[in-house]
């Protein structure tokens, strides 16, 4: 993954404006950043490894500039591998978002023809190929999901969309190109989303899009205010976004439209089989949904989108429904899975926070969770809003199976209002509790986050948050499994973060398992209403949301204590598109 941002203007403008755009794209990668620009008739490049915040650009005005913020997917995070990358004659500067498959063979062939390489990235291949071929003919010859843009010494700025998002805009004598429409706020009021396969040539203040032959046309969209992309006084985006959970819950409820919920629920009810797919946090949301759907009489298969094409696809056919969950809507595993499933006749229902994402575009029906932009890499408010959307969807399915009534649906909306209210009223107290407990998580040999029943996936998610936000090794497990091996580590600085069960059958197990863990020398920290780490009291179905918030705060405060780079964990990126 990576972020692309550039401009081409009639009157020279400050080179530093590129940095404004790139900073807004830093969620797409922070392993390196750089800018190519035209000055005095020649092509210049400034680049450095690391976050774009540290990129120092000269205070000059230039007509054209093209910048990049990098996630190191091919080649390490070094200066040589930082984009823009140049051709042999240093006359073509290229930036790439995504991955070019099979680039090694291309590289060997180019090297055999005398091209000299200075990096180990796939992106550099493009710079050299552009020395030999026209960009429009080139794109069709390459495999992979990527987009690239190039600025040349003779004043050409062009780009190709081959599977990663690109938007273009023109305003006030400048044309712009970017990976993300939100980054254009303040630069332009509307933008065109390039369809896959499109080529665009930018000129000073204008652009010309050439869609793929027979392919879709570009879509015009308004550039909305970037209200959520600032930290608004919070030290980290993650904390701000956890504090936004209550309002996001209310927004999700308001934005989900009855007609699409009816359609999606009808499709699920009529399905021969249902697969729920996602990765990471979205997979955990999918796991919770299996309890919601089971409650209304529908059993679903939950599987990681990374595994789906290899272990489930052969059973997919007409009558199969894929419920695909992805906050970004861009995760490659998810996109690859839905494409393959569609080819075999499946119907796709997407659940995403990004309405212009590929998941939204390529689903038969999609449900927008409308949690607002999430800038921190550790997902928080999008997880809780996704759970809410899935619970509402399951209730709609229940209207078909007869397990839920309109009154139940109305009561659910009231319960969600109540949870949002209670969370808003107690979030500071929860945060205070997390802060005072953070020291207990530091310097542990191992941390187990254990839960049972419907809060088991919340335990997995809690462990994931501890890894991302606090860089602590944590493992999520089912409470009962604690006794089947994991307790061997009890005496080695083991901390068990135990989620109080919300279903009756697990209560007895809970007290017994914790007693044994303590006797064997483990430190036990309980989570739940009135526990060591409190959680807002709620009914069973909403408990995963309530517990998730408490665990997010715990992970966040542990991260602060550890001095971890909370919003930008090493080696991670907001949407994994490799
Ligand atoms: C969440 O905190 C992680 N950053 C990661 O596991 C993420 O959930 C996963 O990569 C899937 O992302 P998506 O929801 O955008 O598809």
Would you state the pLDDT for residue 395?
A: 98
- SS3 category, 237: helix
Torsion angle, CA of 43/48/51/52, rounded to 10 degrees? -20
Of residues 295, 213, 298, the one with CA closest to residue 264: 298
Number of Cβ within 10 Å of residue 255's Cβ equals 15
> Which residue spans within 413-473 are E strands per DSSP?
446-451
**pTM higher than the cut 0.85:** no
Atom of ligand 1 nearest to the CA of 575: 15
pLDDT score at 1: 72
Element (H, E) at 3: strand 2-14
Spatial CA neighbour of 83 closest among 55, 53, 45: 45
74 phi-psi bin (left φ>0, alpha ψ -120 to 50, beta other):
beta
Contact 334, 360 (CB under 8 A): no
Ligand 1 atom having least distance to the Cα of 379: 2
* C-alpha separations of 530 from 439, 478, 536, 538 in Å: 20, 22, 9, 12
- What is the per-residue DSSP string for 113-180? TT-----SSSHHHHHHHHHHS-HHHHHTT-BSSEEEEEEETTS-EEEEEEBS--EEEEETTEEEEES-
Tokens of 564: 């971890």
338 close to ligand 1 (CB < 6 Angstrom): no
Q: Is the CB of 334 under 6 A from ligand 1?
A: yes
Q: What is the pLDDT of residue 265?
A: 98
Find the length of the chain: 578
Interval between CA 136 and ligand 1 midpoint (Å): 33
What lies within 8 Å, CB to CB, of 291 at 6+ separation is: 453, 454
DSSP symbols for 62-85: EEEEEEEEE--SSS-SSTTTSSSE
Alpha-carbon dihedral angle through residues 431, 436, 440, 441, given to the nearest 10 degrees: 30
Task: Assess whether the C-beta atom of 378 lies below 6 angstroms from ligand 1.
Answer: yes
Question: What is the CA(265)–ligand 1 centre distance, in A?
Answer: 25
Q: How many CB atoms lie within 10 A of CB 51?
A: 17
What pLDDT is recorded for position 376?
94
Residue 576 CA: nearest ligand 1 atom is 10
* 439 burial via Cβ count (<10 Å: 0-12, 13-18, 19+): exposed
Q: What's the DSSP call for residue 33?
A: E
State yes or no: cis peptide before 119, omega within 30 of 0.
no
Tell me the sheet residues that pair with 495: 447, 523
CB of residue 353 inside a 6 A radius of ligand 1: no
Which pLDDT score, from 0 to 100, does residue 227 have? 54
What token pair was written down for 36?
């190519």
Mention every residue, 6+ apart, whose C-beta is less than 8 A from residue 238: 376, 378, 380, 469, 552, 556, 559, 566, 567
- Give average pLDDT by consecutive 10-residue segment, the chain, 578 residues: 94 96 89 95 94 94 97 87 96 94 92 95 94 84 90 97 93 96 92 93 96 89 69 92 97 94 98 98 98 98 98 96 96 95 98 90 95 93 98 98 98 98 97 96 89 98 97 95 91 92 94 93 96 98 98 98 93 75
User: How far does residue 381's CA lie from ligand 1's centre (Å)?
Assistant: 12
Residue 326 in contact with ligand 1 by CB distance below 6 A: yes
331 ligand 1 Cβ < 6 A: yes
């Amino acid at each position: 993954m990576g972020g692309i941002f550039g401009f081409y203007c009639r009157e020279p403008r400050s080179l530093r404006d590129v940095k404004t755009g790139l900073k807004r794209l830093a969620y797409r990668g922070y392993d390196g950043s750089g800018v190519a620009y035209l000055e005095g008739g020649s092509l210049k490049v400034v680049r450095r490894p690391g976050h774009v915040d540290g990129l120092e650009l000269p205070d000059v005005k230039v007509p054209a500039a093209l910048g990049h913020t990098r996630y190191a997917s091919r080649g390490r995070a070094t200066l040589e591998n930082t984009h823009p990358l140049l051709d042999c004659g240093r006359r073509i500067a290229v930036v790439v978002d995504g991955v070019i498959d099979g680039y090694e063979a291309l590289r060997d062939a180019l090297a055999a023809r005398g091209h000299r390489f200075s990096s180990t990235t796939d992106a550099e291949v493009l710079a050299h190929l552009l020395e030999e071929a026209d960009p429009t003919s080139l794109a069709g010859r390459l495999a992979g999901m990527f987009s690239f843009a190039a600025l040349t010494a003779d004043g050409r700025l062009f780009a190709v969309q081959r599977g990663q998002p690109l938007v273009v805009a023109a305003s006030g004598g400048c044309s712009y190109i970017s990976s993300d429409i939100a980054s254009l706020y303040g630069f332009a009021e509307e933008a065109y989303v390039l369809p896959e396969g499109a080529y665009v040539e930018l000129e000073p203040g204008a652009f010309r899009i050439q869609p793929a032959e027979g392919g879709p046309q570009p879509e015009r969209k308004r550039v909305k205010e970037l209200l959520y992309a600032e930290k608004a006084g919070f030290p980290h985006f993650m904390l701000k976004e956890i504090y936004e959970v209550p309002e996001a819950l209310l927004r999700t409820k308001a934005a989900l439209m009855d007609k699409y919920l009816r359609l999606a629920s009808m499709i699920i009810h009529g399905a021969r089989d249902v697969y729920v797919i996602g990765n990471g946090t979205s997979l955990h949301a999918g796991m919770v949904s299996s309890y919601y759907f089971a409650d209304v009489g529908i059993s679903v298969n939950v599987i990681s989108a990374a595994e789906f094409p290899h272990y489930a696809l052969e059973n997919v056919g007409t009558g199969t429904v894929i419920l695909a969950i992805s906050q970004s809507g861009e995760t490659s595993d998810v996109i690859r899975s839905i494409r393959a499933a569609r080819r075999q006749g499946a119907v796709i229902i997407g659940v995403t926070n990004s309405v212009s994402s590929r998941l939204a575009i390529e689903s038969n029906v999609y449900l927008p969770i409308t949690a607002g932009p999430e800038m921190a890499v550790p997902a928080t408010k999008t997880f809780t809003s996704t759970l809410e959307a899935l619970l509402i969807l399951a209730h709609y399915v229940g209207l078909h199976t007869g397990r839920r009534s309109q009154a139940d649906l109305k009561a659910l909306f009231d319960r969600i209002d109540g949870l949002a209210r209670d969370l808003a009223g107690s979030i500071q107290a929860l945060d205070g509790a997390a802060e005072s407990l953070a020291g207990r998580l530091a310097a542990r040999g191992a941390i187990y986050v254990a839960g049972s029943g419907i809060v088991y996936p919340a335990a997995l998610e809690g462990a994931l948050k501890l890894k991302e936000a606090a860089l602590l090794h944590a493992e999520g497990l089912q409470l009962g499994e604690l006794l089947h091996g994991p307790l061997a580590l009890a005496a080695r600085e083991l901390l068990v973060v135990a989620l109080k069960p919300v279903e009756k059958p697990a209560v007895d197990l809970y007290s017994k398992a914790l007693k044994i863990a303590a006797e064997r020398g483990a430190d036990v920290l309980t989570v739940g209403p009135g526990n060591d780490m409190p959680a807002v009291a709620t009914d069973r179905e909403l408990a995963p949301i309530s517990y998730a918030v408490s665990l997010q705060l715990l992970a966040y405060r542990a991260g602060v204590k550890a001095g971890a780079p909370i919003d930008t964990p090493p080696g991670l990126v907001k949407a994994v598109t490799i």
